[in-house]
Amino acid sequence: MTVGIAKRELYRLIEALPDKDVPAAKKYLETLVHRDRDAEARKAFASAPIDDEPLTEEDRKAITEARADITNGRFEILEPRPSIGSRTRRRP
């Protein structure tokens, strides 16, 4: 099967998907498309030097505030990425 034929078959399958399954299919396809980029990010993270600087008072305050935000539900998930976790934004 050539790539062109396989892609046409994918388009056909996508069109046949029930609406309720479209978000799951989209997430799966995004994972496939971005897996090389995500692998590069994981490799860069794994080889990064260890941050051994002590926390500043400002760092400690920010961590305490972030934990309070999470405890009190003041966050929302923006872009779930199964391969690398979820990005969140603080709610006012």
pLDDT tens, residue by residue, 28-86: 998 888 888 888 888 888 888 888 889 999 999 999 999 999 899 888 877 765 555 55
Is the four-CA dihedral 13, 14, 18, 21 of positive or negative sign?
positive
Band (pLDDT 50/70/90 cuts) for residue 26 is very high
d(CA 27, CA 68): 30
